[in-house]
Structure 1
């Protein structure tokens, strides 16, 4: 894991935090398919009752707040101090902390769920298995993982000019293969076509720790 890459990503989001918060201020409003898979994830976590949920790479906290509204015990972690500060102000009832998804201050096997909503997109492809291994470590047996990402639309894995810092579009089958290698079983997947103001197809993988 390249510490300089993490620092660069954090600094990039800190530098544009007000603009980024304005961009995502509507959260999941107007995104019924996104809400549907998050709600399916929440339902599975409630069924297992196996612990709290980590929103990892939580940004300004709107997904964590939605998970709270769905009845989950949730906390958020993000590299960006500026975005964490915004999350704390916006949702003072939720715990948010600055940290890396690759080195969580969480005991083994204690979480009922993990959400990584467009957070592994900035990881160098070679580092993604490191993040998946950490998600697997902190999840309880039978715990669930939800990944949200930009899907490649039939093209190879490739970087693109994300508005904040370099990100990657993943073929859904390739990313699903990495999750299998990390010890996850696929529960379901979704491909959402881009909206009028979006450039790329979106992928979601709903997974369970074996």
Structure 2
């Protein structure tokens, strides 16, 4: 019998899933070609807001294989990436050797308060159940300095989607679910953490997407 809590066991399964698929994930999504122009416009707005500060220090929380870290670095941000999966971090370090990546949880970020001017949560909150959502945004607010910006992107909707079939096409058997939230639900969590929503983008699905996509930009203080 495992001594780990159900929550810890769940996140261990998420970690294992991404360790398993890391190489194929990087090959399938090597850069931002999967993002719609509107998504990139929100990323550019975030980078511009962060660059207005003196050091443009950004945390890419849930960085995966580092493709968004690279995108922001190319736009003048000083990026640090953190991810739960050692396998994803290993690929990020290999593919983006000029950037810093570490293994860690964004529900307990390994950084002091006020360290960053920006925090990016690019589709990295989607595997966290409702009960854990508040901790994500509380931690993001903690490591932001006053006036810092948060950008969070996610698929909108209700309930969960099973992602096992998507990865089975690449020959992987993993247990991985995606939780869906409305824009208003996430905005409420962001504001409860002390951030103020500045703008949001909600766009309809394109290509193989099945859900509306949301980008929400907020500011601390």
Q: TM-score, normalised by structure 1?
A: 0.93
- State the partner residue of 1:24: 29
Kept after mapping to 2: 8 A contact 1:28/1:34: no
Structure 2 residue 218 is the aligned partner of structure 1 residue 207: yes
Cα deviation, 1:108-129, whole Å, max 9, x if unaligned, reads 1121000000111000111000
- State the partner residue of 2:19: 14
- State the partner residue of 1:161: 162
Please state how far the C-alpha of 1:25 moved relative to its aligned partner.
Answer: 2.1
103, 106, 112: which one aligns with 1:107: 112
For 1:72 and 1:50, the matched residues in 2 are separated by 8
Q: Rate the CA distance shift 1:30–1:102 in 2: closer, same or farther, 3 A.
A: closer
Kept after mapping to 2: 8 A contact 1:121/1:168: yes
- State the partner residue of 1:179: 190
Kept after mapping to 2: 8 A contact 1:51/1:110: no
- State the partner residue of 2:206: 195
Kept after mapping to 2: 8 A contact 1:50/1:140: no
Aligned length: 206
Kept after mapping to 1: 8 A contact 2:56/2:76: no
- State the partner residue of 2:139: 134
Please state how far the C-alpha of 1:55 moved relative to its aligned partner.
Answer: 0.2
Structure 2 residue 50 is the aligned partner of structure 1 residue 39: no
79-88 or 58-67, which moves further after superposition? Answer: 79-88
Please state how far the C-alpha of 1:30 moved relative to its aligned partner.
Answer: 5.6
146, 151, 154: which one aligns with 1:146: 151
Please state how far the C-alpha of 1:107 moved relative to its aligned partner.
Answer: 0.9
Kept after mapping to 1: 8 A contact 2:59/2:120: yes
For 1:124 and 1:131, the matched residues in 2 are separated by 11
Flag the structure with larger Rg: 2
For 1:158 and 1:78, the matched residues in 2 are separated by 24
Output aligned runs, 1:30-69, within 5 Å.
31-49=36-54, 51-69=56-74
Question: Alignment partner of 2:76: what SS?
Answer: coil
- State the partner residue of 1:74: 79
For 1:96 and 1:31, the matched residues in 2 are separated by 26
Question: Alignment partner of 1:103: what SS?
Answer: coil
Please state how far the C-alpha of 1:48 moved relative to its aligned partner.
Answer: 2.7
* Unpaired stretches in structure 1, ≥5 consecutive residues: none
